[in-house]
Amino acid sequence: MQPAVEFQHISKRFGAVHANRDVSFAIAPGTIHGVIGENGAGKSTLMSILYGYYHADSGQLLIGGRQEKIRNSQQAIRLGIGMVHQHFMLVENMTVLDNVMLGAEGGFRLAAQRRQVERELRDICERYALDVDPLAKIQELSVGVQQRVEILKQIYRSANILILDEPTAVLTAQETAALFDVLRLFKAQGKTIILITHKLQEILAITDEVTVMRAGAVVGTVPTAATSKEQLAEMMVGRPIQTQLPRAPYAPGATVLEVSHLSLQNQQRVQLLKDINFKLRAGEIVAIAGVSGNGQSELLEVLSGMRLPTCGTLHLQDQPLPFAGRKHADGLPAAFRALGIAHVAEDRLRDAVVKPFTVLMNSILGYQKKFTGAFGLLDFKKIRQHCDALLQNFDVRPANPALRIALLSGGNQQKVVMAREMSSQPKLMLVGQPTRGVDIGTIESLHARLLAMRDAGVAILLVSVELEEVRALADRILVMSGGAITGELKAEEFDATRIGLLMGGLHKT
């Protein structure tokens, strides 16, 4: 049987960057094939060549044993290739039905066609257990359901080869399990799935084969059943990965942050945070565990000055944070940064970077006053030196300050954000989902840096949906459910079952 997809000696350059180097491997039909590698390893570039966004400089691409020159995404769709991007391509104020039809309306009799497409979508949803309402608006749907909409689009367009780029980067554990159920059904229909991910436990759980890339080249392709997480990690990074990082003994200092009776309501008077109380001391990492959407994001937004609390008091080193008398939060994030509060936002594209700006300008975003010279003008020589040092120290690839940050991979964008905030010498570090969409080598590096800051006396509040990350970093664990803290555990009391109960609000310690 001919491979569903075969790459033969594919190479691609972007100026001095050699994104793909003589890439050759095949993907069997009716299988789930993983493609893994560090940020900047060339995975997304290769898939963009398959989907027609980029054209290879050299090499051949075979679909079903037939050589094809895919010039654009429309041609890829005609060949039965569909792609679900990490950042969804959906119009939020339109319905699911309208998003599916967009660009494929097919005529002027839209009312009749809408009815026909709606019937087809409902049939597809039933066949693949997608559980999507075609008449719902995108903005009303959870992230997990929006992703199912993207898959629904591809199935409707008769995709036999489905590319998923970091599909679980923004999903909860439950949403990931539901996605994998859909992919297994897709595979059972004889279709082929190409899965790009950094999460090795997911590769081991769902794929049949896995191809490892490093520095634009293929390191090897192995049957998933014949490998391990440790072997794949070493193939990706080129060295063994440390699972237990060194850390100083737990010896917290003075209280840095004290939160008392904090509550938050939105404009519809829905309670988002309910009587939150905790202390955070110098030299400790307190992790907040919970399913996304249970108040963790809102807590970080209040603590970073992005939102005003409804009630409660917050003190930084015994001084009240300047919420009093304010009717809006304008200017508060800058004031909080000046007090020594650094913030790595959960959604880097929405809250942590400005996509049209260069890496250089994003490296000082929020800290511009530190880089002003005479007459209040920016000192670009100083900024360039600062940026060059950050890119080198955090191994950002490519290390090009003049590049628009939107052109970096998600993991390298995250490195820029983490580098910027960590270099600000904070007293309090607020860290939301620090390794979302980041490869295993970078996870090790970022974890080591967070532990070094903790050992140096910085107070760190970590929000993560990854329980393994919580286990690796936390000195204490707070669990949130429904906007409230449902329990607290010491690091040595870590128990996934107990935490799961607390995350569901079913048990309180």
List pLDDT tens digits, range 3-55: 999 999 999 998 888 999 999 999 999 999 999 998 778 998 999 999 999 99
255-340+426-503: CATH number = 3.40.50.300
What are the strands, taking DSSP E only, across 40-181? 58-63, 66-67, 81-84, 161-165
Strand order in the sheet with 17-27: 17-27, 5-14, 58-63, 66-67
Q: Are 201 and 166 in contact (CB under 8 A)?
A: no
- What are the residues whose beta carbons fall under 8 Å from the beta carbon of 414, sequence distance 6 or more? 348, 434, 435, 436, 437, 438, 442, 446
Report CA dihedral (430, 432, 437, 442) to the nearest 10 degrees: 30
3-state class of 23 per DSSP? strand
- What are the residues whose beta carbons fall under 8 Å from the beta carbon of 56, sequence distance 6 or more? 10, 11, 12, 20, 49
How far apart (Å, rounded) are the C-alpha atoms in residues 12 and 44? 12
- With 60 as the cut, is the pLDDT of residue 499 above it? yes
Q: Check residue 509 and give its pLDDT.
A: 45
Give the confidence band of 167 by pLDDT, cuts at 50, 70, 90.
confident
- With 60 as the cut, is the pLDDT of residue 507 above it? no
Share of the chain above pLDDT 90, in %: 67
How far apart (Å, rounded) are the C-alpha atoms in residues 142 and 296? 16
Q: How far is CA 106 from the centre of its chain?
A: 35
- The mean pLDDT of 454-466, rounded to a whole number, is 95
- 372-397 in b/e form (b: 16+ CB < 10 A) is eeeeeeeeeeebeebbeebbeebbbb
Q: Are 301 and 344 in contact (CB under 8 A)?
A: no
Neighbours of 243 (CB within 10 A): 11
- With 50 as the cut, is the pLDDT of residue 284 above it? yes
Give the confidence band of 157 by pLDDT, cuts at 50, 70, 90.
confident
Determine the straight-line distance between the first and last CA of the chain, rounded to whole angstroms. Answer: 58
Q: Report residue 234 as tokens.
A: 């070493």
How far apart (Å, rounded) are the C-alpha atoms in residues 242 and 494? 20
Share of the chain above pLDDT 70, in %: 97
Residues 376-435: pLDDT tens digits? 899 999 999 999 999 999 989 889 999 999 988 878 899 999 999 999 999 999 999 998
Q: Report residue 6 as tokens.
A: 């075969």
Q: Which of 207, 88, 206 is nearest to 141 (CA)?
A: 88
Residues 72-128: pLDDT tens digits? 999 999 999 999 887 778 898 999 999 998 876 666 677 788 899 999 999 988 888
Q: Check residue 107 and give its pLDDT.
A: 62
Q: Is 149 exposed, middle or buried (0-12, 13-18, 19+ CB in 10 A)?
A: buried
Q: 5-237 belongs to which CATH class?
A: alpha beta
Q: Check residue 292 and give its pLDDT.
A: 77
Residues 252-272: pLDDT tens digits? 999 999 999 999 999 888 999
For helices 173-188 and 110-128, give the axis angle rounded to 10 degrees.
100
The single-letter DSSP state of residue 137 is: B
The answer to whether the pTM exceeds 0.85 is no
- Mean pLDDT of all residues in the chain? 91
Domain extent listing, the chain: 5-237, 255-340+426-503
Give the confidence band of 170 by pLDDT, cuts at 50, 70, 90.
low
Check if 5-237 and 255-340+426-503 are the same fold.
Answer: yes
The single-letter DSSP state of residue 238 is: S
What are the strands, taking DSSP E only, across 290-411? 311-316, 319-320, 341-344
Q: Are 146 and 138 in contact (CB under 8 A)?
A: yes
Q: Which residue carries 């094809």 as its tokens? A: 68
- What are the residues whose beta carbons fall under 8 Å from the beta carbon of 312, sequence distance 6 or more? 259, 260, 261, 262, 263, 275, 276
Q: Which residue carries 């005529």 as its tokens? A: 107
**481 vs 46, 173, 258, 504, CA distance in Å?**
40, 15, 20, 6
Q: Which residue has the higher pLDDT, 6 or 467?
A: 6
For helices 143-156 and 110-128, give the axis angle rounded to 10 degrees.
110
